[in-house]
Amino acid sequence: MNTSKNEKRKFKIAVIGATGLVGSIMLKVLEERNLTDNEIIVTASERSIGKKLTVAGKEHTIVSVEDAIAAAPDFALFSAGSGASLKYAPLFAKNGTIVIDNSSAWRNFDEIPLVVPQINGEVIKPTDKIIANPNCSTIQMVMALAPLHQKYGLKRIVVSTYQSVSGTGVQAVNQLMQERAGEPCGKAYPHQIDLNLFPHGGAFEPNGYTTEEMKLVHETRKILRAPQIQITATVVRVPVIGGHSEAINAEFEKEFEIDEVIRLLNEFNGIKVIDNPTQNEYPMPLTAHEKDEVFVGRIRRDESQPKTLNLWCVADNLRKGAATNAVEIMEWLME
């Protein structure tokens, strides 16, 4: 790290998987936040080495992961899949680099912090070298619930997600668009997704839930440091390109007032309330497109039982659900 008294500190930042759906948005977010003044190193798989990528108007050559490790960057933002994370994150860490990993590879290890900076940035210790970025659906749900949990204490969450195809990857986006155009296509899913939806995200586990559903359970408890919260989830894949939506039913330990719930949400950094149903105003995937905030609406009391709230939340799954949160973890550490 270069520092001098009156100069802004310069960092070396590597993006692993820079050509991918999330990696390319990481680069965009770095540019938007004026972080491309730092030294940027871009890597991808072997087939992309030597190709050029333009970042903030400047051409960068894609280097091998090995070369990126040897450059000993201050930070490595990973979005190249779990296999690459498991293989390379420890090598970066050994060389002194702080890894912020978007895959699910490291999230469930007790000693690895799982971080949404607005909620639990302080769990990162100076000695931590690998930090996990949570799953996209978890990030937006904990963002919407954290300020309420702090005040009223979460007891139980029932969540149904409406997840867009970009969460699966570029192949799934192609499947949707080609099915829509009536063209033959490769299948990212076992079923047609256009004009359809299915209650299936990730792989089925022996308990009948999917990996995506269980991420919502385990990751939420870890981030909120509240293993006692009861959580049950149903993940649905919908024919939307980008932006995940969630219908959340949350039961609290304490009584709440709707006005105060709205105030707490509005005051929370990174949340925007859009809740004017009589004017047809509520968050939708198109509302969240290319935005960094988590949008919350349809805030209302569950009239079927006390101390229980219904709300709807939407976020750009590639932004706050992935790239933006990773960059925000890095910004937290830079500060």
CA 323 to centroid of chain Cα atoms: 7
Whole-angstrom distance, CA of residue 136 vs CA of residue 314: 11
Nearer to ligand A2P, 172 or 217 (CB): 172
Q: Tell which positions 180-209 bind ligand A2P, by CB under 6 A.
A: none
CB of 24 to ligand A2P, least distance (A): 8
Q: Which of 77, 6, 73 is nearest to 323 (CA)?
A: 77
CA distance 26 to 283: 24
Stretch that binds ligand A2P, among 1-9, 17-25, 66-74, 245-253 (CB under 6 A): 17-25
The CB-of-22 to ligand A2P minimum distance in angstroms stands at 6
Per the residue annotation, which of 60, 136, 149, 313 is the catalytic one?
136
Can residue 44 be called a binding residue for ligand A2P (CB under 6 A)? yes
The yes-or-no answer on residue 136 being catalytic is yes
* 11, 12, 13, 21: which one binds ligand A2P (CB under 6 A): 21
CB of 136 to ligand A2P, least distance (A): 12
Among 27, 30, 40, 84, binds ligand A2P (CB under 6 A): 84
319: closest CA among 8, 12, 30? 30
* Residue 73 lies near ligand A2P (rule: CB under 6 A): no
Amino acid at 53: L
Amino acid at 311: L
Q: Residue 94 or 151: which CB sits closer to ligand A2P?
A: 94
Q: Which residue has the tokens 């890894």?
A: 99
CA distance 159 to 209: 13
Q: How far is the CB of 45 from ligand A2P (least distance, A)?
A: 3
Q: Given the complex with ligand A2P, which of 20 and 147 has the nearer CB atom?
A: 20
5 binding ligand A2P? (CB under 6 A): no
Stretch that binds ligand A2P, among 19-27, 179-187, 280-288, 302-310 (CB under 6 A): 19-27
**133 is written with which tokens?**
């970025």
Rounded distance between C-alpha atoms, residue 307 and residue 154, angstroms = 10
* Minimal distance, residue 83 CB to ligand A2P, in Å: 6
Candidate list 60, 149, 244, 313, residue with the active-site label: 244
CA 184 to chain centre: 31
* DSSP string for residues in 274-326: --BGGGTB---HHHHTT--SEEEEEEEE-TTSTTEEEEEEEE-TTIIIIIHHH
Q: Tokens 């190249």 sit at which residue?
A: 80
**Judged by CB, which is closer to ligand A2P: 83, or 199?**
83
Which helix (DSSP H) or strand (DSSP E) does residue 270 occupy?
none
How many residues lie near ligand A2P (CB under 6 A)? 19
Would you name the residues annotated as active-site residues? 136, 244
Instruction: Give me the residues that bind ligand A2P (CB under 6 A), please.
Output: 16-23, 43-45, 47-48, 65, 80-81, 84, 169-170
